[in-house]
Structure 1
Amino acid sequence: MAPTAELNEEVFTNAKPYSQVPGPKPIPILGNTWRMVPVIGQFDISEFAKVTKMFMEKYGRIVRLGGLIGRPDLLFVYDADEIERMYRREGPTPFRPAMPCLVKYKSEVRKDFFGELPGVVGVHGEQWRRFGSKVRRPILQPQTVKKYVTPIELVTLDFIKYMEDARDEHGDLPAEFDNDIHRIGRVALDVRLGCLSSRLSSASDPQRIIDAAKYALRNVAVLELKAPYWRYFPTPLWTKYVNNMNFFVELCSKYINEALERLKTKKVTSENDLSLLERVLKSEGDPKIATIMALDLILVGIDTISMAVCSILYQASLRLKQQDKMAEEIKRVFPDPDKPITYADLDKLHYTKAFVREVFRMYSTVIGNGRTLQEDDVICGYHIPKGVQVVFPTIVTGNMEQFVSDPEEFKPERWLESDGRLHSFASLPYGFGARICLGRRFADLEIQVLLAKVSYAI
């Protein structure tokens, strides 16, 4: 079917029934949830990317994981053409698969705070559209992003100094370097938080921020794929999750109130003088909107970007030929390392950007994206009922020969050349359409500035 083709009665009549979709068979009472249980289970939730690849290899281009206690079926689709069709046909308010633990936190545990302003993460439909309309314009404006080039450059320089000081006698970085990467951040709260201090105690606010950011998303899969006892009584994991989220709400509220006070005395001649937080505060006049926006940016941004940076730096260290090409381009665009970086110059880093995209294609730090069907659909020839949660595992499709020429070859040039096979929907690290990642411009900016500065430090 064409990406925008309408489904008709004939298509549904000819479709195979949902019950015939291949996948692991559930057992009575325990369904497929037992497969995620330690010791007796088959799937390691901490390595679920490997599980998604195994599904494709064992069952084919569409796989049903049903019988999950307390949640809808998951449907994995390993077909970039079908992924494109679903993205292009969706309406203005797509439903992403819900995060039940975050929904419960926002709508029940802290309903007193969120009320009718639940944000954009874990929220769907009209509520998502209304809140998004309040923050989308200031977040996505190129002018807003440009304002952060210098602040991010200063943070990056401090981080490189931190890296240099952290090396051992062999010149190696510490084993916990993935923890250290979480220290980079500047946008969400519009302030330096002190995370780059060389000695942070476990009880300090900066270290608590780092720990909370890592915890925020990494245990969501455990809460949601294992038996959801937390929905009925406060399990230790759920209690820790709630305390973690309460800390973030408190933190965001504190810094947004400080930003509001600064804004009252700030001389503003044009919108270009305002930071992201200040734009939202000025346009909406409600500090709670800015607080919830900052919370959502932290929840989905800090850990994801940090892991992406780890992956990019690691791949660059292994691939000296590509590393040299990047360094050559960066030094051509920025011949004077002491001259401040500009947004216009970053736009000239074509090979560097292609290197990053190739890392995302081969070693994505996210499994993929997805949608909750709001109406029946026909996917890969099967009649899929509404309510099923469809997963687009681009960590797998980006490495499939059907969609990418020589997928096992690390080749940044593929993003700069027109020859060869490269399906535009096989690798989508930021998603697509109305629910594309709101913070993608800031993520790209942080990565590009870091690579530009690191190339002069090595």
Structure 2
Amino acid sequence: MFSKLLYRKRTLIARKCTQAKCHALSKQTLRLSSSSAPPGNILIQEDETVQHVKPYSEIPGPRAIPILGNTWRVMPIIGQYDISDTAKVSFELHREYGKIVKLSNLVGRPDLLFLYDADEIEKVYRQESVTPFRPSMPCLVKYKGDVRKDFFGTLGGVVGVHGEPWKKFRTTVQKPILQVQTVKKYIEPIEDVTKDFISKMLAMKDENGEMPSDFDNEIHKWALECIGRVALDTRLGCMDPHLPPDSEPQKIIDAAKYALRNIAIMELRFPFWRYFPTTLWTRYVANMDYFVEICTKYIYAAMERLKNKVVKDEKELSLIERILASEKDPKIATIFALDLILVGIDTISMAVCSILYQLATRQEQQEKLHEELKQVLPDPNEPLTAKKLDEMVFLKAFVKEVFRMYSTVIGNGRTLQEDTILLGYKVPKGVQVVFPTVVTGNMEEYISEAHKFYPERWIKEKCGNHYVHPFASLPYGYGARMCLGRRFADLEIQVLLAKIFRSYKLEFNHKPLDYKVTFMYAPDGELTFKMIDR
């Protein structure tokens, strides 16, 4: 009752504010006091209101059975939850159990705690240390720290690594990748890749002007070509119209998909792979080895180019060249590139699939975008600049709204490093807390008219009284472990949308598609868009 009253009070205030003011609001940090608490209880004291804190064991959730615990619920055939669609599972748990749900007794892994309260999510984020622990990818941890310790050593990278090793590596690479000036240097290269992709789209249209049934794979090729340009300092040749299935680019894409899309299976089902080399694990290792091989090859090629390059100013160097020039060990650049490619290909590709589908099925919104692009780019052939991209306000708002309603990343999370009070329960250290933004981003408590697709809610001059809780939708995470490549991801998406919709119209004249999870949350089906000249 106390939390509901507090939220209602905050909401009444918030909804009278503009969005900019609302984003400054945050819930007061709870003050803990146990001086007068009965044995076995803790007290929360705020504004002289006192409540007893309930033990972790009382958090609602599916009940475990002997031996199998809750692992049986995510098993094939007999299981209750289809972990191949974690978005659906997230909605089901919230609907059945409420704002906090414990999925405990999962064989071989810590408990999962699903948290559907944006205020509490904010509290966890704001109270974390300088080395936050993300729920790890045990399979990637085992690969980097055990299987290929000979290669990685103490250089684990930024994915699947925690504590001081993560902090040291991220500190080494984050300056060049997060600098706005560095990102701006890649506008022209990304635009060149995108022009080639659009030419390829025009060539692959069928007699009805539609894209082929495997168009999502073509988007993966575009994403890989963009990431290769950034992370490996080269064009990989993904835009070649005659790429065979066993080509290097296609093998990279297939390896990335396999590595990411089987994570849920390896992490939530019984982890046989930890004890003996299952078929799934053997193929996972082979794919990761291929990544290491490819990244090493291109980074060493970049090193050779750098040796013969006359540099007058550091600003002339590419992202990878800056890392190679400042660090003695080339493996730092190699591992950095590996992490960017591994996580970036599927993430950006599926985000683009979702955005294009939403634009193709929302013609009124597409026309608004086209009108904005005509104003910013009177000549469709003029090159893009940082200034012009900044003026594409509706474009950015549309992307944010797609990420809110159809969050490509199902959620974020943290492994608690200290005992924490969440929604009146004492949650012990070591529990993995999941923040399902695909759910919280669609909750009326945190988003005004959450059911309505309304990009203008993200535009300060047009948002009116629309309220967006700043921690309800976080597609790139928050804090020290926010997505390191987010600026480049935004750039690639913005350039693609600007170049396509300035000159072309997309339609989707087929049965509406449902959304489903592979590793990302995206439309499930053939993206046979019709491409029409403006």
Q: Secondary structure at the match of 2:243?
A: coil
Match of 2:343 in 1: 300
Match of 1:35 in 2: 73
Q: Which residue of 129, 133, 144 corresponds with 1:95? A: 133
Q: Secondary structure at the match of 1:328?
A: helix
- 2:417 maps to 1:370: no
Q: Which residue of 213, 216, 222 corresponds with 1:175? A: 213
Deviation, structure 1 residue 3:
4.2
Is the CA contact 1:371–1:390 (under 8 Å) kept in the aligned structure 2? yes
> d(CA) in 1 for partners of 2:232 and 2:71?
39
Alignment of 1:111-130 (within 5 A): 111-130=149-168
Q: Which residue of 98, 101, 113 corresponds with 1:60? A: 98
TM-score, structure 1 length as denominator? Answer: 0.98
Q: Which residue of 425, 432, 437 corresponds with 1:389? A: 432
- 2:366 maps to 1:323: yes
Is the CA contact 1:3–1:81 (under 8 Å) kept in the aligned structure 2? yes
1:26-57 Cα distance to aligned partner (Å, 9 max, x none): 11111111111111112112211011011111
Match of 2:504 in 1: 457
Q: Which residue of 273, 277, 282 corresponds with 1:230? A: 273
Aligned partner letter, 1:150 = E
Match of 1:283 in 2: 326
Deviation, structure 1 residue 123:
0.6
Is the CA contact 1:281–1:287 (under 8 Å) kept in the aligned structure 2? yes
> d(CA) in 1 for partners of 2:272 and 2:424?
36
TM-score, structure 2 length as denominator? Answer: 0.84
Alignment of 1:127-142 (within 5 A): 127-142=165-180
Alignment of 1:98-109 (within 5 A): 98-109=136-147
Match of 1:8 in 2: 32
Q: Secondary structure at the match of 1:371?
A: strand
Bigger mean CA offset, 336-345 vs 1-10: 1-10
Q: Which residue of 190, 194, 198 corresponds with 2:233? A: 190
Deviation, structure 1 residue 7:
4.6
Match of 1:72 in 2: 110
Is the CA contact 1:160–1:457 (under 8 Å) kept in the aligned structure 2? no
Match of 2:468 in 1: 422
Aligned partner letter, 1:442 = F
- 2:493 maps to 1:438: no
> d(CA) in 1 for partners of 2:165 and 2:334?
17
Aligned partner letter, 1:206 = P
- 2:294 maps to 1:251: yes
Gaps of 5+ in 1: none
> d(CA) in 1 for partners of 2:30 and 2:162?
24
> d(CA) in 2 for partners of 1:302 and 1:257?
22
Bigger mean CA offset, 259-268 vs 168-177: 168-177
> d(CA) in 2 for partners of 1:418 and 1:369?
29
More strand by share: 2
Match of 2:204 in 1: 166
Is the CA contact 1:12–1:378 (under 8 Å) kept in the aligned structure 2? no
Aligned partner letter, 2:140 = L
> d(CA) in 1 for partners of 2:28 and 2:304?
49
Is the CA contact 1:33–1:226 (under 8 Å) kept in the aligned structure 2? yes
Is the CA contact 1:368–1:391 (under 8 Å) kept in the aligned structure 2? yes
1:61-90 Cα distance to aligned partner (Å, 9 max, x none): 000011111000000000000011111111
> d(CA) in 1 for partners of 2:205 and 2:80?
39
Aligned partner letter, 1:451 = L
Match of 1:312 in 2: 355
Q: How much is the aligned-residue C-alpha RMSD, in angstroms?
A: 1.3
1:241-268 Cα distance to aligned partner (Å, 9 max, x none): 0000000000000000000111111122
Equivalenced residue count is 458
1:156-196 Cα distance to aligned partner (Å, 9 max, x none): 01111122222222222122222111112231211111112
- 2:55 maps to 1:17: yes
Is the CA contact 1:3–1:86 (under 8 Å) kept in the aligned structure 2? no
Deviation, structure 1 residue 6:
5.4
Q: Secondary structure at the match of 1:315?
A: helix
Deviation, structure 1 residue 457:
3.1
> d(CA) in 1 for partners of 2:326 and 2:264?
36
Gaps of 5+ in 2: 4-25, 35-40, 44-51, 506-534
More helix by share: 1
